[in-house]
Structure 1
Amino acid sequence: MAFVYKADPVRGAEWARLFAAKAPDIPFHIWPDIGEPDRVRYLAAWVPPQDIERQFPNLELFFSTGAGIDQFDLTVLPPELPVVRMAEPGVVAGMVEYATMAVLALHRDLPTYIRQQREARWAAHRVYPASKRRVSVLGLGVLGCAVLDQLRTLGFQLAGWSRTRRQIDGVACYAGREELAAMLAGTDILVCLLPLTQETRGILDSKLFQHLPRGASLVHVGRGAHLDHQALLDALESGGLSSAVVDVTDPEPLPAGHPFWAHPKILLTPHIASMTQPETAVEQVLDNIRCHQAGAPLMGLVDRSRGY
């Protein structure tokens, strides 16, 4: 059996070194070197190759090298092929760091002070304790729950929303479209960590923003296609939203001249909230290979009916 890695070749070299140390019995190849196609049982990729079934006729597991899977079309993959997304600790830790940084930046009015510094204007604003700030997370998967765990330690009032009902200590949980507006109405800082599905595409639109209290803020670390750019710009212009931290956009990178680049109320980063860490990613992949061989459940197995 052999393993093929099809993504960033620099990280691929790190994966190769780790495989050689931890699983020397599994031949490791970096695309486009695939070795003998018939021997390939495992493939990790950001974007799968075309005609994957013909190219790798004995493939048993397909790993996404990222936490999401919306970058490829599930319908073109063999229906019986298990697809596993990256849910390794490095991705989770990175997202917790970024989301916490962003929430604290909005909580302590950092966008306002950045604008004032550029204007050479010295003006202090009221400081509120975290216990007075209401933070809500859209998406209660592994990443959303980890972010809420960290925010809880800082004393924020917390809420969360998901497609199906969840119970999380210290978090007011809402479920389904019929409960979304109620959660939004009690939100000062909204964090989007949803998977991208047909139901969530474009969810951050003018209708959603209108349900938030005037002056609320947004942290967008989900997927670029969740956000209606013009709706965000309109909400910032009208004062409906006071500021936003945006890490993901559609398209990426943004074209030259896009309003987000120079907008004084947007803190923009280039999709760096969290990145797969080779050490922990390889550990998760090898654990899943062992589980697969033993017939045990896989960590991060994608439910194709849900799209994540």
Structure 2
Amino acid sequence: MRVAVYLPAEDKTQWWVDMLQGLLPGWDVVSLDAAADPETVDFAVVWRPRTGDLARFRNLRAIVSIGAGIDHVLADSELPSDVPIIRTVGADLTQRMREYVALHVLRHHRDMPRQLLAQAQNDWHAIVVPVAPNRTVGVMGLGNLGAAAATTLAQLGFATRGWSKSEKTIDGVTCFAGQGGFDTFLDGCDILVNLLPLTDQTRGLLNASLFRKLPKGACVINCARGPHLVEDDLVAALDSGQIKQATLDVFHIEPLPTDHPFWSHPAVTVTPHVASQIDAATGGRLIANNLMTFAKTGTCDDVADAERGY
């Protein structure tokens, strides 16, 4: 079996080539650009492939996304439509997202940005907030990561609700589904967490119309994909006070340009796409196991639904 690997940074590509080669004894692992005979490549392991990169491998059996999302693969306008795409998911990614969401929901709940400002001003300022059961937190997207995050928030005591395209049932979480339940879900959400997959239907969903449906002074956390957010609408909502604070882990352009206004906005916390960033060693083991399973059976548990986008 031959595997071609591509990441935007050449040194990272070679690191992954070497690492996967050690995990796949008897296989041939090469960088995508070094695959001299495209006809012999069985699998491609990629992050943000370039347009046309994958179309030249005419015998490709599957494409592996180095990450849970597949939108970066589907963005290739020349992508072969009949090749399965395998997501990289697992307990490690889920745990990391649980930690990130809990951390930043608690930060907003306890108004830590304001507390840190008081410290910077030598201001002994007691900030008293409602207890968690009196704070409503909404999670948009109830897939593996969203359901785990919502469960964690409910276990912390928050009045937790979730919204998804199709109906879900999660212990301790009030679930809403479809367009008919969306506005009801948003109404009263003090803190909104976005964990939706990026699709044509969800692109730009975090916009001025949505922000107006939240209570004045609500907080927003986006740890899904940058294009979910209409950036100018968020800045306007923050400046008007409709949105009190925002935590953003994902952006339209990454790395976030150094002159971007989010860096200096007093109500925005920026993190560099680390909410559920898997460590490479764990990711490599997950990918190797999926590749070996797929090679033997023609499928694996983490094959995505390309039509749905996740």
Alignment TM-score, normalising by the size of structure 2: 0.91
2:303 aligned to 283, 301, 304, which one? Answer: 301
SS where residue 106 of structure 1 aligns?
Answer: helix
Identity %: 36
Instruction: Indicate conservation of the 8 Å contact 1:19/1:26, yes or no.
Output: no
Amino acid at match of 2:164: S
Amino acid at match of 2:66: T
1:89 lines up with 2:87 in the alignment? no
The Cα of 1:43 is off from its aligned counterpart by 0.7
Look up the match of 2:268: 266
Using the alignment, how far apart are the partners of 1:121 and 1:42 within structure 2? Answer: 59
RMSD: 2.1
Using the alignment, how far apart are the partners of 1:143 and 1:235 within structure 2? Answer: 27
Amino acid at match of 1:172: T
Using the alignment, how far apart are the partners of 1:112 and 1:99 within structure 2? Answer: 19
Amino acid at match of 2:227: A
The 5 A counterparts of 1:1-308 are 1-7=1-7, 8-12=9-13, 14-34=15-35, 36-52=37-53, 55-72=56-73, 73=75, 75-295=77-297, 297-308=299-310
Amino acid at match of 1:265: A
Give a deviation string over 1:202-237, Cα, whole Å, max 9, x none.
111111111111221111111111111222122222
Pair 256,10 (structure 1): closer, same or farther in 2 beyond 3 Å: closer
Instruction: Indicate conservation of the 8 Å contact 1:134/1:187, yes or no.
Output: yes
Give a deviation string over 1:179-199, Cα, whole Å, max 9, x none.
111111131110001111111
Using the alignment, how far apart are the partners of 1:100 and 1:300 within structure 2? Answer: 26
The Cα of 1:70 is off from its aligned counterpart by 2.1
Pair 258,78 (structure 1): closer, same or farther in 2 beyond 3 Å: closer
Amino acid at match of 2:200: Q
SS where residue 48 of structure 1 aligns?
Answer: coil
Pair 138,53 (structure 1): closer, same or farther in 2 beyond 3 Å: closer
Using the alignment, how far apart are the partners of 1:51 and 1:93 within structure 2? Answer: 34
Instruction: Indicate conservation of the 8 Å contact 1:29/1:35, yes or no.
Output: no
Instruction: Indicate conservation of the 8 Å contact 2:3/2:42, yes or no.
Output: yes
SS where residue 71 of structure 1 aligns?
Answer: helix
More off after superposition, 258-267 vs 7-16: 7-16
Instruction: Indicate conservation of the 8 Å contact 1:130/1:156, yes or no.
Output: yes
SS where residue 208 of structure 1 aligns?
Answer: helix
SS where residue 34 of structure 2 aligns?
Answer: coil
Pair 212,289 (structure 1): closer, same or farther in 2 beyond 3 Å: same
Equivalences, count: 308
Flag structure 2 segments of 5+ consecutive residues without an equivalent: none
Instruction: Indicate conservation of the 8 Å contact 2:141/2:196, yes or no.
Output: yes
Flag structure 1 segments of 5+ consecutive residues without an equivalent: none
Alignment TM-score, normalising by the size of structure 1: 0.91
Pair 223,167 (structure 1): closer, same or farther in 2 beyond 3 Å: same
Give a deviation string over 1:152-195, Cα, whole Å, max 9, x none.
32111111111111111111111112211111113111000111
SS where residue 238 of structure 2 aligns?
Answer: helix
Amino acid at match of 1:158: T
SS where residue 218 of structure 1 aligns?
Answer: strand
The Cα of 1:147 is off from its aligned counterpart by 1.2
Instruction: Indicate conservation of the 8 Å contact 2:51/2:77, yes or no.
Output: no
SS where residue 243 of structure 1 aligns?
Answer: strand
The Cα of 1:19 is off from its aligned counterpart by 3.2
